[in-house]
Structures are given as structure tokens and as C-alpha cells.
């Protein structure tokens, strides 16, 4: 219920703010858009008839509905970043979903608060891609980068007393991405009406340059468009209590600068994500002209050779993950409910940092990281001037780079979660002295817009970066993999520390185990799955344990960002030249958001608040029928991921011995492994021992019986009735005693009644070609996740699930007004 209250508070605040028609209104254009994929000459014109077009809501991703097709954006290429020399056919590189082509969006909107003396801003938080924007038939602007935030002043194009028409044309080229980019107006679109004498868009910049236990100095710079004006700013704490106030009457150019004191400040951190709010009121000629509320946190950051990274004066290492922008079955369309679920899952794992890979994050993601306590590495580009793909950002770099960086920084620098900027990822420009100059130029732009945060680049060509000075010019040298070069890079670069900006790239498929159990790079199997024993990785990378050693033993390594926190659409390495395979295997959690075994390996090390004890593999290895051969009597290693240092394993009550963590190999240091266990149906139990040698925890796993019924578990049973909230229901096939049937993969059908709708379904299988938006799908590893979306009316929601030979599943939810 706490999450619902927070969400409703945010919605209510927006409504109150928007209701103040005297100074500023913000209207999010979400409903009743018209959309068409066809080429439409004249679609920007007011008289154009769009009645036959599809009605959609925004955020919207037109490509996520499929179908999956291996011919879509099939690229014949040698991926240099992966060390490939010979071009091969890559069928699933961008998800095999139909993102390529043109799309038109049209939306009528009214401006009841618009009148003479007002200004109208049209704000886009992301449009994929190359948007051309028209208002009432007139072009008001264009942009190129699909991940950028941008806005236009449309004051001279809008009309009063009648509806206005917004039309947006988008065009996605093939060979423009290395992963699934999505398509359409996939982030929010808003219309802001304010006075001409007003605070500029993204014009409030808050920093906390001095923080002590007794007092924090809060510096606020506010850009305005107003003469004869003054600015009044109030700071409230998280309970709404006024804690500081200041009036600025002297303006420097177009900017006010204020220094306010907050006594006995409560500091923002992942453990205590305390937020304050600054309310700035602009007066001109003694009349209130504008009001803007800005959430911020009080915290300090520093990066030094002797102390590494410090937050609020305390040294710590990043326990981070990289995340692509798609949300699995929702595609690229932003959903705050889906983002919140991801962060809750990562929080339980002990993760404390996110890297937006390899693009500008959604504003919703940053708001949640502020609120829930995640440090953030905000990334900008995957390419600079030198291309990775034919139609990538290299086409726009020289003319657009600076304005894209400026918009990124100005739109997001208020967020306390952001502790570092990334100017790029594995850019080919690392080679040659020109690349080092380019890195310095981009970094200088970041510094100009925000002097308080350092800049990094995820480098994969580390030897070139050392040779040509590329890594030396950066504030923070970020190394993507290349563990064998860590020591040399540390000695070569002048900073005195380095960051694991991208680590591991271990691959696995949830609930899939391969035999014999071996450590292997780029391993492939006929079923296009990877083993969940977590010993398989990419040719350029390594296993998690190898990074753990560096993080634990090298004080000059300031943390890591694992590739990746969740599976994502596209880049199905090691099967990117096989079909079917259309999504990644890198995730600690699968595409449906279900934790893989690897989740518990990271949790055992990162979550220091609650213990971890997890057994793998499953224990269902008997033959399904007489024509098959089971694993009875065959070696079936058992691994245990645990925060405890030792444990004893029992199979059907017989001890397999005690294992203790030791330093013989990285795997022995972080995993408990019984490598010679032979399979026999029944039970597997592990008893973990505390530091006193006494039993501290135990876990039991049994061989499941025949599939009997469905188990339904919702992440939230009550969701908000505003038409966009989502409950994620994990459905498991279980036996009569409630044990998961991990090898039962069969089709289920879903029906939603009442005050909600079926939104999507996902099973986490990277080879599945079933569409996400249809109410039927096979389970994978005995599980899948159904997404149920609220309506705009409060009331009961009923989910019914059917599967052949299974007892019907039922779950009651409710949509609430709070």
C-alpha cells in the first residue's frame, strides 16, 4: 500500500499544480492519439481525415506487437566490439520486431488557460526517431536522436477558442541500433502553458556544495525570462515542513543565485533516500508570474586516489547493474509501474546503482531512483563520430552532440541519484589521438553544464585508450571487461582508480541446466539456451566471481556495473547468428523479471541486510516417458549460493559432506559446490552454518509430482485506478503439494474481467516467438508473468487462467482510488 500512496501523492500534486491556471499548467498528452504506419501525405494538415487510424495512448511502442521475423533488420556484420573478424548473419540483433519504417501520430488538444501574455512549451521526453513536429499544420521543429529530451516554443502556432492539432512524423532506419530500440512516442509528451515572464524550462539547478552534520548549504541557480523580477524560494523537508526560505532580488544576466541553509540535514543515500523540495516563485512587477517545485537531495560525492568513491564522506563501491531501456513485454514504452518493479527486485538483491545503457534514461526512472535509493550513472551515446552500425548516431554526432548533451544535463542534473555522467560506450573513437581530443571536448561540455559530477566512458579498447591518452583525459576511466588489463591500466592512467563500467556478461537461461557442467566461453546448444549453472560467458568477458575478486582485493577499483540487471530485447549472444533467438541471455533476471539462479549469487554478496541461501539445479531429472532416459545415477552437481561461509548438503537424508568457501579458485571463494553428486529422485536439503559453526538456515528442494494446479502471485494486489498502473502476476505450474514443476512448459490462457484489462504476458524464454500482447503463452521453466492493467474506475479485477489438465487458476485484484 505504501507504493500506491506514493504514486497517488505524485498524481495529486500534479493535479493541484496543473489546476493553478494563473501561473502554469502542465497537460500530459496521453490519451486519444491517432496513429498510422502508412505513408500519409498531408497528415500534418488540420483538414486531414484520420478517422480510420488506430487510436492509441502515449507512451506507445508500435513495434512491440510484432510479429517476430528473422528477416527484420537482418544484419550481416562482424561485431568489432565482440572481437569478430568475419561478417556473419545476425538475425535477432535488434529483436526481430518491426521497428523500421515511418509512423504518424496526431493528437487534438485544447488550451483553456492560454491567452495573450502566455507562453506554450511542447515537451517530448523521447521519440524514436527523427521526429518532425507540426502544430496546426505548421512545422515547429525537428530532432534526430531518439533518446533525447527536447522541447519547442509553440506560442505562435497555437490558437485559442478551438482545438489545436499536434502531428508528429517518425522514421526509423534499419541498421541503426545494436539492440531493440523500440519505435514511436515511447515516452511522455506534455504541453506547458505559463506566463512569458517565467522560469525557463529546466531552469532550476540545485547543488549542495557544503554539507556538515549541523548545516547544509543549498545553492540554487534559476534561469528566468523576466524583467523587474525577484524570486522567492522555500525549502520543505519530506514531511512538508518549511526548513529554509530566501528572496533573491539581484539577477545576473538571466539567472538568480541563492544560497540557503538547511539545519541538521538528513542526507540522501541508497540506505536513506531522503528528499527535500524547493518551491520557487517568480514575481515581476510585484505579481506572481510562475511557480516551480523541484525535488532534490542533500548529499556529497567525491572521487580521489586515496579514498576512491565517497558518498557523504564514506568510501563505498558501486554494486551496480546496466539496464537497457526496454521493459520486456511492454517494449520501449515507459511504464512507471514496470520500472518500480524492476528496482524493487534489484533492491532486494542488494544492488545500489544503475547505469543507463547506452542512452539517456527516462525521467521516470530517475525519479524512482531518487525515491527508492539508487545511485545513477547517466549515459549519453553508444556512438560518436565513428560508426558501429551504418545508420547510428554517427550520422548526427558533429551537428547534434552538444545540444543533446546540454539537454541531458539540464533536464536531469537536479536528481541526487545521478553521481556520474557517461559520455559514451565502447566508442570506436578510442583509437587515435583524435579520439582523445573528442573525449576532452565532450567532457568539457558536461563540466560546463554541471561542474559537480565527473565524466566517464565505458572503454573496451583499453590498450588503445592507454596508448593514445583517451583514458587519461577522463575524470573516471571506465573499463568494460578486460580484467587482465586492470593492473596495467591502473598504473598507466593518472587518476589513481578505475571503474568496472561494464562487467561479467555471463549468460544463462532461467531453469535450464546443461551437462557436463564446465566453464566455457561462447558455448552453444541445439536448443539455443545457456546453462544456469552460471559458468558460461562471452568470448570477451568473464564470470561474476572474477569481478568479485577485483572488487574485494583492489581498493583502487571503485565498483562495478554488471551486464545486465534484466534481459532485454535484441543482442541474443551467444546465439545472435542463430534462429530463433530474439532477446538477451545476459540478465541476472529474465525478460519477464523472474530472477535467475545468478540473482542469488549476487544477492549472497551484495545484500548485507538479510541472508541468502539458494540451491541449484532443480531436482526433476527423471524420464518423462519410457522413450526417454533420465539422469538417475548420473553426476548432477549441486551448487549453493549463500551469504554463509559453509554448509552441509543432504540428498534423501544422506550427507554429501560439508563445503566451505576458500580461495583456491574464484568460484570456490564465492560458491559452495558439490561436483560429484549423483541424481536420485527425492529431496535435496542444505543446512548453512553461522560463524559459530552452528546451523543458521536451511533450504529443502524436492522432486515435484505431476502438474496439478496453477499458483498465482501478484507483486501488488491493489493498483491505482488511473488507467496505467500494472500488477505483475507470476504464474507457476505446481504439483498437488504446491511444488514447482520446473520442466512443465505448456500453454495457458488468460482472461481479465472487471476494472482492469489484460496488458501483456512474458515467459522469459529468449527463443519464444509468441507475441506478448495476446492472452495465451507457454510457460518456460514452469513459469510466466501476466501483466494486468487498471482501468480508470475503481473496483474489482478478476484474473482467470486455464491450462489443459490443470485446475483453473484465479486471482482477485482491485483498482483503487486513494
* Catalytic (active site) residue 426: yes
Query: Cα 410 to chain center, whole Å?
Result: 20
Tell whether the model's pLDDT for residue 659 goes beyond 90.
yes
CA 176 to CA 781: how far, in whole Å?
34
Whole-number mean pLDDT of the chain?
95
Mean pLDDT over 584-589 rounds to 98
Neighbours of 80 (CB within 10 A): 13
Would you place residue 11 in the very low, low, confident or very high pLDDT band (cuts 50, 70, 90)? very low
Residue-wise pLDDT tens digits, 334-390: 999 999 999 999 999 999 999 999 999 999 999 999 999 999 999 999 999 999 999
* pLDDT for the residue numbered 75: 87
Give me the percent of the chain exceeding a pLDDT of 90. Answer: 93
The lowest-confidence range among 13-27, 34-48, 111-125, 136-150 is 13-27
* pLDDT for the residue numbered 626: 63
Higher pLDDT, 38 or 208: 208
Check: pTM over 0.85? Answer yes or no: yes
SS3 track for 178-230: CCCCCCECCCCEEEEEEECCEEEEEEEEEEEEEECCCEEEEEEEEEEECCCEE
Residue-wise pLDDT tens digits, 461-500: 999 999 999 999 999 999 999 999 999 999 999 999 999 9
Sole residue written with cell 512448459: 745
DSSP 399-452: HHHHHHHHHHHHHHTT-TTEEEEEEEES-GGGSSHHHHHHHHHHHHHHHHH-TT
Tell whether the model's pLDDT for residue 14 goes beyond 50.
no
For residue 23, whether the previous peptide bond is cis, meaning omega lies within 30 degrees of 0, is no
Q: Name the 3-class secondary structure at 498.
A: strand
Mean pLDDT over 117-128 rounds to 97
Residue-wise pLDDT tens digits, 644-657: 999 999 999 999 99
CA 29 to CA 477: how far, in whole Å?
41
Tell whether the model's pLDDT for residue 91 goes beyond 70.
yes
Find the helix packing angle between 544-553 and 597-606, rounded to 10°: 10
Sole residue written with cell 562482424: 78
| C-alpha closest to that of 251 among 219, 271, 273, 226 | 226
Cβ–Cβ under 8 Å, residues 121 and 225: no
The torsion angles phi and psi of 744, rounded to 5 degrees, stand at -95, 100
Tell whether the model's pLDDT for residue 9 goes beyond 50.
no
Residue-wise pLDDT tens digits, 275-317: 999 999 999 999 999 999 999 999 999 999 999 999 999 999 9
H-helix or E-strand spanning residue 749: strand 747-754
Residue-wise pLDDT tens digits, 123-147: 999 999 999 999 999 999 999 999 9
* pLDDT for the residue numbered 625: 66
Strand partners, 330: none
| C-alpha closest to that of 280 among 300, 262, 266, 260 | 260
Cβ–Cβ under 8 Å, residues 154 and 167: no
List, in order, residues 6 or more apart from 302 with CB less than 8 Å away. 309, 310
Residue-wise pLDDT tens digits, 406-445: 999 999 999 999 999 999 999 999 989 999 999 999 999 9
Query: The C-alpha cell of 522 is what?
Result: 561462447
CA 298 to CA 218: how far, in whole Å?
8
Tell whether the model's pLDDT for residue 613 goes beyond 80.
yes
Choosing from 197, 291, 367, 426, which is the catalytic residue?
426
Give me the percent of the chain exceeding a pLDDT of 70. Answer: 97
* pLDDT for the residue numbered 17: 39
Give the torsion through C-alpha atoms of 67, 71, 72, 73, to 10 deg: 160
The residue ranges of DSSP E strands in 604-741, in sequence order, are 613-616, 638-642, 646-651, 654-660, 672-674, 683-689, 695-702, 709-714, 718-720, 726-734
Q: Identify the structural domains of the chain with CATH numbers, from first to last.
A: 18-195 (2.60.120.260), 198-296 (2.60.40.10), 317-504+541-568 (3.20.20.80), 614-702 (2.60.40.10), 709-816 (2.60.40.10)
Antiparallel, parallel or unpaired: β 747-754 and 776-778: antiparallel
Choosing from 367, 383, 502, 680, which is the catalytic residue?
502
Residue-wise pLDDT tens digits, 533-578: 999 999 999 999 999 999 999 999 999 999 999 999 999 999 999 9
Query: The C-alpha cell of 482 is what?
Result: 578486460
Tell whether the model's pLDDT for residue 20 goes beyond 80.
no
Strand partners, 639: 616, 673
Would you place residue 12 in the very low, low, confident or very high pLDDT band (cuts 50, 70, 90)? very low
Residue-wise pLDDT tens digits, 241-256: 999 999 999 999 999 9
Tell whether the model's pLDDT for residue 627 goes beyond 70.
no
* Catalytic (active site) residue 434: no
Amino acid at each position: 500500500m505504501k507504493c500506491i500512496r506514493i504514486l497517488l501523492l505524485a498524481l495529486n500534486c500534479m493535479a493541484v499544480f496543473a489546476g493553478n491556471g494563473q501561473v502554469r499548467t502542465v497537460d500530459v498528452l496521453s490519451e486519444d492519439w491517432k496513429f498510422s504506419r502508412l505513408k500519409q501525405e498531408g497528415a500534418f494538415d488540420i483538414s486531414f481525415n484520420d478517422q480510420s487510424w488506430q487510436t492509441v495512448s502515449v507512451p506507445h511502442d508500435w513495434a512491440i506487437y510484432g510479429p517476430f521475423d528473422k528477416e527484420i533488420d537482418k544484419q550481416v556484420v562482424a561485431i568489432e566490439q565482440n572481437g569478430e573478424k568475419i561478417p556473419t548473419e545476425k538475425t535477432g540483433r535488434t529483436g526481430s520486431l518491426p521497428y523500421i519504417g515511418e509512423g504518424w501520430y496526431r493528437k487534438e488538444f485544447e488550451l483553456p488557460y492560454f491567452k495573450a501574455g502566455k507562453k506554450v512549451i511542447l515537451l517530448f521526453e523521447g521519440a524514436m526517431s527523427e521526429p518532425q513536429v507540426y502544430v496546426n499544420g505548421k512545422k515547429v521543429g525537428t530532432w534526430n536522436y531518439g533518446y533525447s529530451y527536447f522541447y519547442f516554443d509553440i506560442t505562435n502556432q497555437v490558437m485559442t477558442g478551438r482545438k489545436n492539432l499536434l502531428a508528429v512524423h517518425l522514421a526509423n532506419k534499419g541498421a541503426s541500433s545494436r539492440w531493440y530500440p523500440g519505435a514511436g512516442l515511447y515516452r511522455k509528451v506534455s504541453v506547458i502553458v505559463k506566463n512569458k515572464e517565467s522560469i525557463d524550462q529546466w531552469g532550476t539547478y540545485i547543488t549542495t556544495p557544503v554539507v556538515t552534520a549541523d548545516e547544509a548549504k543549498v545553492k540554487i541557480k534559476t534561469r528566468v525570462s523576466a524583467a523587474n523580477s525577484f524570486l522567492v524560494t522555500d525549502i520543505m523537508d519530506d514531511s512538508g515542513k518549511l526548513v529554509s526560505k530566501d528572496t533573491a532580488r539581484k539577477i545576473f544576466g538571466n539567472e538568480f543565485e541563492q544560497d540557503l541553509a538547511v539545519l541538521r540535514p538528513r542526507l540522501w543515500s541508497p540506505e536513506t533516500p531522503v528528499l527535500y523540495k524547493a518551491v520557487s516563485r517568480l514575481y515581476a512587477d510585484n505579481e506572481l508570474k510562475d511557480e516551480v517545485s523541484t525535488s532534490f537531495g542533500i548529499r556529497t560525492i567525491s572521487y580521489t586516489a586515496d579514498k576512491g568513491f565517497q558518498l557523504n564522506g564514506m568510501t563505498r563501491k558501486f554494486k551496480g547493474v546496466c539496464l537497457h531501456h526496454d521493459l520486456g513485454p511492454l517494449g520501449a514504452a515507459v511504464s512507471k509501474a514496470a520500472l518500480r518493479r524492476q528496482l524493487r527486485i534489484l533492491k532486494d538483491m542488494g544492488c545500489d546503482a544503475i547505469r543507463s545503457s547506452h542512452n539517456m534514461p527516462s525521467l521516470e526512472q530517475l525519479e524512482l531512483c531518487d525515491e527508492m535509493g539508487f545511485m545513477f550513472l547517466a549515459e549519453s551515446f553508444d556512438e560518436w563520430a565513428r560508426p558501429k552500425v551504418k545508420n547510428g548516431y554517427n550520422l548526427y554526432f558533429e551537428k547534434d552532440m552538444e545540444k543533446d548533451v546540454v539537454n541531458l544535463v539540464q533536464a536531469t542534473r537536479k536528481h541526487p541519484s545521478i553521481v556520474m555522467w557517461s559520455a559514451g560506450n565502447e566508442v570506436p573513437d578510442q583509437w587515435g589521438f583524435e579520439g582523445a581530443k573528442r573525449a576532452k571536448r565532450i567532457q568539457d561540455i558536461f563540466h560546463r553544464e554541471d561542474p559537480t559530477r565527473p565524466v566517464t566512458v565505458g572503454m573496451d579498447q583499453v590498450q588503445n585508450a592507454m596508448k593514445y591518452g583517451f583514458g587519461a583525459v577522463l575524470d573516471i576511466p571506465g573499463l568494460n571487461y578486460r580484467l587482465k588489463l586492470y593492473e596495467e591500466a591502473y598504473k598507466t592512467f593518472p587518476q589513481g582508480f578505475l571503474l568496472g563500467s561494464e562487467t561479467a556478461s555471463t549468460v544463462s537461461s532461467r531453469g535450464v541446466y546443461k551437462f557436463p557442467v564446465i566453464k566455457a566461453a561462447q558455448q552453444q546448444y541445439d536448443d539455443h539456451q545457456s546453462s544456469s549453472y552460471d559458468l558460461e560467458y562471452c568470448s570477451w568477458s568473464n564470470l561474476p566471481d572474477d569481478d568479485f575478486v577485483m572488487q574485494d582485493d583492489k581498493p583502487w577499483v571503485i565498483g562495478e556495473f554488471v551486464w545486465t540487471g534484466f534481459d532485454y530485447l535484441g543482442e541474443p549472444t551467444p546465439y545472435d547468428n542463430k534462429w530463433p533467438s530474439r532477446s538477451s541471455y545476459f540478465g541476472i533476471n529474465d525478460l519477464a523479471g523472474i530472477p535467475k539462479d545468478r540473482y542469488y549469487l549476487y544477492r549472497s554478496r551484495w545484500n548485507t541486510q538479510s541472508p541468502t541461501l539458494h540451491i541449484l539445479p532443480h531436482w526433476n531429472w527423471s524420464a518423462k516417458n519410457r522413450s526417454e532416459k533420465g539422469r538417475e545415477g548420473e553426476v548432477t552437481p549441486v551448487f549453493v549460493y549463500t551469504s554463509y561461509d559453509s554448509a552441509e548438503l543432504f540428498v534423501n537424508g544422506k550427507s554429501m559432506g560439508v563445503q566451505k568457501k576458500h580461495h583456491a579458485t574464484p568460484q570456490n571463494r564465492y560458491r559452495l559446490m558439490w561436483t560429484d553428486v549423483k541424481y536420485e529422485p527425492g529431496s535435496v536439503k542444505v543446512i548453512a552454518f553461522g560463524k559459530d559453526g552452528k546451523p543458521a538456515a536451511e533450504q529443502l528442494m524436492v522432486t515435484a509430482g505431476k502438474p496439478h494446479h496453477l499458483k498465482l502471485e501478484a507483486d501488488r494486489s491493489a493498483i491505482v485506478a488511473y488507467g496505467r498502473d500494472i500488477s505483475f502476476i507470476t504464474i507457476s505450474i505446481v504439483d498437488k503439494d504446491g511444488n514447482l514443476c520446473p520442466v512443465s512448459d505448456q500453454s495457458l490462457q488468460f482472461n481479465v474481467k472487471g476494472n482492469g484489462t489484460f496488458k501483456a504476458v512474458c515467459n522469459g524464454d529468449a527463443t519464444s516467438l509468441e507475441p506478448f500482447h495476446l492472452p495465451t503463452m507457454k510457460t518456460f521453466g514452469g513459469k510466466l508473468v501476466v501483466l494486468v492493467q487498471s482501468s480508470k474506475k475503481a473496483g474489482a479485477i478478476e484474473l482467470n487462467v486455464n491450462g489443459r489438465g490443470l485446475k483453473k487458476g484465479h486471482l482477485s485484484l482491485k483498482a483503487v482510488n486513494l
